[in-house]
Amino acid sequence: MFETWSDDLMCGLMTALDVVVVDYGDSADGVLVGEPPPWFLRFLPESKAGLEGLSISLGEHFLYLDSFLPDAEDFWDSAEDGRMKSGIWTESDLDGKTVHLGATVLSVSGRKLLLIERLRGRFEREREVIQKARAGKLDSQRKANEREREAAGLRGINEELEEAVADRTRELSLTNRLLREEISDREQAVARANELRQQLEAESRAGALGEIANQLAHELNQPLGAIANYLRGGLRFLARDGVHEGRAVEAIERSLVQAERAAAIIQNLRGFIASGRVDYEPTSVNGLVRDVIRLLQPEIDRNDVDCRLNLTSSLPKVTANGIQAQQVVLNLVKNAIEAMSGLDPADRLLVVSTSRAGDTEIEISVHDFGSGPEGLDLDQLFEPFYSTKVEGMGLGLAICRSIAESHQGSLIADPSPGPGLTFRFKLPIRVETHS
Amino acid sequence: MLENVSLAIASPSAIGNPMIRKKVCLLGAYAVGKTSLAARFVHSMFDEKYLTTVGVKIDKKSIQIEDRDLDLIIWDLAGEDEFVRVRTSYFRGAAGYLLVVDGTRPATLEVADALRERIRSAVGPLPHVVLANKSDLVDDWHVADTDLQSLVEDGSKLFRTSAKTGVGVEEAFDALAREMIRSEA
């Protein structure tokens, strides 16, 4: 080491290198060698900045050395020549300026030296190398995190999609089940409605039988009475010595005609009340109307109704069940008669018409001159158990519309201008025969 | 000519400084935010720019705990990795330490655990607190609570901190200072 510490060259060299040299000699007090550089003085308080009489603890003003100097003493105590370097440290001087420093402990021929060096470029180079390496690692980690986050995001989206699909599938499954149940319910309801309709139709026919029983009795009374009269007349002619045999035969033949008429009336009645298989066949609407009017003629007469038929000739036949179609017309005519019961007999006019309705249908209309639709809910008229009559069950028109629709026809109430109300019963000209 | 000047190596008590001086170390993997935590605590500052610490950076802050004046000498040690190894001698004289992990980097928990073992081996058990830093980076948080809890199974306190926002920083240093005073008694 140096022969004398006051050697200008060596001290100048240390100053030029920004190195502070402290000689600890044989005691704990260190001796500052040479002129300390300005950066070193900025760690010392003003009062101790002067070189004369400087007595200061390095450990107090260099916080790092407070911990490092015990290591240095241990090193010096080992009595071996050599050196020990401190790590790099950074401290702030009294002006708050950060300074990067490094220390070296030297043991040379029993001399205890401490070198404190201010690090400039070396510190920056070392930091740059480390930082570059770490920045690369950090960047890799950041990218890995981003990839993981993206993957997690994709997993999340995928899970959400799967969940949404599962939810939708569950909803669809539920909807499907509900639809199946609804379809089943509707099918059951339709089946039940058909069953009820058939029951109602049968009951209605039975009810209608009761209603027309009197009329039938009245109608049968005439041919039966005629038969009885003709037969009595025939017997009288035969009792007169065979002279009037020819007249007796004539009386018997007439009674036979009346008997056949009565049989036809009864046959008609039997067909009317029979339920079960429904046969459709080409039917003349004009004939159908005439049959109904003939059947109701006694009632028409009893009620002093002026019944007029306005039947279009040469109408094509409809394919219908004659008995059911008659039942509809019969109901409509009876309703019309009842609708006019409150009118003066002179005003009781009933018009039953037949006509073509377009290319595919024939219309039977029943028009009365009663009080008309005023106060009536025309839609409700066809609902079951809706009745404007005190004693009515409210099934007649409902059944009639049901029959019309079962023929693929229609039945409506038409509030046409003028007095009264018109019911229009349409039947298709061609309908497939069905059961 | 230059003159030789006599310097004394004196301890604080020898000078008669009534201030209690406590050396505390900031330990953790690199880039967990140790320097930023120190800057937040000492200077109430935060700088987004990352500058790696080389060696150790020493700061000082005076605080008052339970009517006692305390000088905290904060040793912000360089993060340890394959490039840099923390000198065990840095631990000498420490009265406590703050173990810092980065909530966005699970690997920093292992480094923290290893450093704790080293400081225990070097200077014995010391008061310390655990800081889960970067709590402001919610979207990037990758550390599970259970993993953090495993770091404080020895009874130390856990703080979620953000050097950027300052959340939890004062509280962590304050808790450590109180713990050091208690352990002194």
| Residue A239 amino acid letter | A
Using a CB–CB cutoff of 8 Å, tell me whether B90 touches chain A: yes
Q: Are A367 and A384 in contact (CB under 8 A)?
A: no
Shortest distance between the Cα of B24 and any Cα of chain A, in A, equals 12
pLDDT of residue A7: 55
Burial A217-244 (b: 16+ CB within 10 A, else e): eebbeebbebbeebbebbeebbeeeeeb
Neighbours of A52 (CB within 10 A): 6
Residue A270 clears pLDDT 70, i.e. is over it: no
Using a CB–CB cutoff of 8 Å, tell me whether B60 touches chain A: yes
Using a CB–CB cutoff of 8 Å, tell me whether B85 touches chain A: no
Residues in chain B: 185
Q: What is the mean pLDDT of residues A265-282?
A: 65
Assign B11 a pLDDT band (cuts: 50, 70, 90): very low
- Residues of chain A with pLDDT > 70: what percent? 79
Bridge partners of A398? none
How far is B14 from A282, CA to CA, in rounded Å?
Answer: 136
Using a CB–CB cutoff of 8 Å, tell me whether B73 touches chain A: yes
Residue A291 clears pLDDT 50, i.e. is over it: yes
CB contact under 8 A, A67 and B89: yes
Nearest CA in chain A to B30: A134
**DSSP state, B80?**
B
Least confident of A77-86, A258-267, B41-50, B91-100: A258-267
Q: Which residues in chain B have their CB less than 8 angstroms from residue A63's CB?
A: 58, 60, 73
CB contact under 8 A, B7 and A127: no
Residue A13 clears pLDDT 90, i.e. is over it: no
Chain A contact probe: residue of B1, B7, B26, B102 with most A CBs at under 10 A: B7
Assign B9 a pLDDT band (cuts: 50, 70, 90): very low
Q: Are A216 and A269 in contact (CB under 8 A)?
A: yes
How many A×B Cβ pairs under 8 Å?
Answer: 127
Q: Are A277 and A318 in contact (CB under 8 A)?
A: no
Q: Which residues in chain A have their CB less than 8 angstroms from residue B87's CB?
A: 87
Share the mean pLDDT of chain A.
79
Assign A435 a pLDDT band (cuts: 50, 70, 90): very low
Chain A contact probe: residue of B2, B35, B49 with most A CBs at under 10 A: B2
Q: Which residues in chain A have their CB less than 8 angstroms from residue B105's CB?
A: 141, 145
pLDDT of residue A203: 65
Catalogue the long-range contacts made by A195-201 (C-beta closer than 8 Å, 24 or more residues apart): A197/A399, A197/A402, A198/A275, A200/A384, A200/A395, A200/A398, A200/A399, A200/A402, A201/A275, A201/A324, A201/A399, A201/A402, A201/A403
pLDDT of residue A10: 66
- Residues of chain B with pLDDT > 90: what percent? 64
Bridge partners of A412? A424
Assign A151 a pLDDT band (cuts: 50, 70, 90): confident
Assign B175 a pLDDT band (cuts: 50, 70, 90): very high
Using a CB–CB cutoff of 8 Å, tell me whether B54 touches chain A: yes
CB contact under 8 A, A89 and B7: no
Residue A188 clears pLDDT 50, i.e. is over it: yes
A271, HSE (Cβ side, Cα atoms, 13 Å)? 16
Reported pTM:
0.52
pLDDT of residue A37: 84
How far is B83 from B79, CA to CA, in rounded Å?
Answer: 10
Shortest distance between the Cα of B182 and any Cα of chain A, in A, equals 23
Shortest distance between the Cα of A58 and any Cα of chain B, in A, equals 6
**What phi and psi values does residue A5 have, to the nearest 5 degrees?**
-70, -15
pLDDT of residue A275: 47
Shortest distance between the Cα of A151 and any Cα of chain B, in A, equals 13
Q: Which residues in chain A have their CB less than 8 angstroms from residue B111's CB?
A: none
SS3 A321: coil
pLDDT of residue A289: 93
What is the per-residue pLDDT across A367-405, written as a single tens digit (0 to 9) for each?
998 877 676 777 777 776 556 665 555 567 877 888 888
CB contact under 8 A, A57 and B52: no
What is the per-residue pLDDT across B93-152, written as a single tens digit (0 to 9) for each?
999 999 999 999 999 999 999 999 999 999 999 999 999 999 999 888 989 889 999 889
Q: Which residues in chain B have their CB less than 8 angstroms from residue A56's CB?
A: 7-8
How far is A71 from A48, CA to CA, in rounded Å?
Answer: 26
* Helix and strand numbers, DSSP H then E, in chain A: 9, 13
pLDDT of residue A32: 80
How far is A49 from A245, CA to CA, in rounded Å?
Answer: 179
